[in-house]
Structure 1
Amino acid sequence: MRKILATAATLGLAGLGAIVPATSAHASTACNNAWNATAAGNFVAYNGTNCGGDRLGITEGQDQDWGNSTGSFQGSDTNQATSLIHKGTTTMRVQLFNGTGDDWAGGHTCLTQGEKYMDTLDNQYFTSGVEVNNQISSHRWIWSGCGATLNS
């Protein structure tokens, strides 16, 4: 009887171990694959989690208004980002804003090169307290200083 209970417990734990890591490993694998496929020097945003869905934009530069008709991000791209890739070739950060304009004011946060990507922006916040998910309206590259950084 003890052998049966021990075997059942072992199989149950093994099954749980196989299920739980698979979900997070899948997310990391999807973004890692997208990061590997991205040309060096670029910042990319997607409207889906796990670097999926539509690619909103890809750029080596800044874009002060994701909702206008200029730059890499245009029109309906504003307030749609759910996952991000940072494949910069320097230690610059991508500073993200929930506002627009070249004064770069308002709530912001940064994605550092060390993060590589964010498979979801849920539970990430701008310095203003606004959640980052589906609220990015502009971005720029900066060398230092940010006030807040995204953490996976």
Structure 2
Amino acid sequence: MNKKLTIVISFCFLSYSGVLFADNDLVSSQLENVMKTHVIATSKESESIDDVMKTIHPESPAAMHIKTGLEQIFPVFDLNVSLVEFSFVGLDNNYAMARVKQKMEKVSGPASFKSHVNEQLLVFKQEAREWKIWQAVMLDVEYL
């Protein structure tokens, strides 16, 4: 009887963990799409504050700071921005996390901005069932 119970419990656990991994794959794909949209909106071809802000959670503590920064940066700098790496870190009830590397190359603008690759840990939170960037922590910057 113990052997049967162990097999049943193991099967249930494996079935449940498969659902969790499927959810993680779906969330990872959704987060990566948010980042791709964010990168396109910040690149010189678009420089769309509205499109960038659509990727930022409106209740994020950083939302207004980001908007103000973009209002100052976009008129002065042209940047080529690309997503170099995306790595899904984890998911809980309210938040998802990903580690990203993005390359920011200055096309034009003052010397104060240096082209670089930055690595960040991003926290995402859902708004109306859509993942949006909640907060970012800079992990590393490599100047080019």
TM more than 0.5: no
TM norm structure 2? 0.39
Greater share of helix: 2
Per the normalisation by structure 1, the TM-score is 0.37
